[in-house]
Amino acid sequence: MVTIGTFDGVHRGHEVVLSALKDIARNIGGESVVITLWPHPRAVLQPEGGNIRILSTLDEKILLLEQKGIDNLLVLPFTRELASLSPEEFLRFYLVQKIKVHTLVVGFDHQFGKNRQGDIELLRTFAAQNSIDVYQPEAHLVDGQKVSSTLIRKLLENGQIEQANDFLGYAYPLTGSVTGGSRIGRTIGFPTANIEPADPMKLIPAGGVYAVTVLAGGVWRQGMLNIGRRPTISDNPLHQTIEVHIFDYDQDLYGKNLTLAFHFRLRDEMKFSNVQELKRQLERDAVHARSLLASVKLKQ
């Protein structure tokens, strides 16, 4: 029992496919197998574009699939050579010769092979010729919309974090290392950790201030985060920063890795006439963030 795809974000749309895969495997006494592609196909086929932004790093994808209860995961290196295979060549080499697949489960918009020429009709024809069962569950709808990675990317880029999380089925994560900063926040009572994302292709949500939870010191904690240019205090307005303030926590995090989970967007980034105005707004933001995060159960 096999499914194959990019599975970027491992969202609620993917969950329909994964649930069907596990059900079929359980009913016939087999094991579920997920074949995923890495790196993201667009990063290989359109590297000059430089605009691919992924929802999940490879580590995040592996963890998410593990949490879904998948028995086996095969990470298939995506190369130009693989992309040049026709749909029939891809199916014959990987699914028939290599894996000897019994049942294939695919998503509602599944396309594969050179120039994505393979579709469900071609797949059904090939499967019938090779004694493979094919199952395609219905698309998962949230608020009347088909859940897709493309839609979730657009929501995050627009700062619609709550709707994106609803489609993902979890709070959007970001992992990175803490780098040195100007330490201005410390002088006004809001020390921040500057985050450098672990994967440069990871999608960063729209600029603004967010209520987040943060895995720091082995414990999930509440905090607020700013993505932007720091217009009030920065001497380099072209440089985007990601800065997180963790409530009731003031340990040295320099050089350590932090994992963030985005829950709510509080406001756009703003420019203030002086640092004191900025401080007063941050105090209001902290009250607002704590109030919203009171409904969020911290992970253990």
For the segment 68-80, what is each residue's pLDDT rounded down to a tens digit?
Answer: 999 999 999 999 9
CATH 3.40.50.620 fits 2-146, yes or no: yes
pTM of the full structure: 0.92
Range picked from 223-232, 255-264, 272-281, 291-300 for highest mean pLDDT: 255-264
What are the sequence ranges of the domains in the chain?
2-146, 171-293
pLDDT digits (tens, 9 = 90+) for 11-32: 999 999 999 999 999 999 999 9
| Confidence label for 275 from pLDDT (cuts 50, 70 and 90) | confident
3-class state of residue 200 by DSSP? coil
Average pLDDT over residues 160-175: 97
pLDDT digits (tens, 9 = 90+) for 104-148: 999 888 888 777 788 889 999 999 999 999 999 988 888 888 999
| pLDDT at residue 240 greater than cutoff 90 | no
Residue 126 φ/ψ, nearest 5 degrees: -65, -40
What CA dihedral angle connects 147, 150, 155 and 161, to 10 degrees?
Answer: 70
Query: Tokens 């970001």 correspond to what residue?
Result: 174
| pLDDT at residue 52 greater than cutoff 60 | yes
- In percent, the amount of the chain with pLDDT more than 90 equals 73
> How big is the chain by its Cα radius of gyration, in Å?
22
Average pLDDT over residues 246-250: 93
Architecture per CATH, domain 171-293, reads as Beta Barrel (2.40)
Alpha carbons 89 and 78: distance in angstroms, whole number: 15
- Of 52-61, 100-109, 160-169, 192-201, give the lowest mean pLDDT range: 100-109
What is the total residue count of the chain? 300
The predicted structure's pLDDT at residue 185: 65
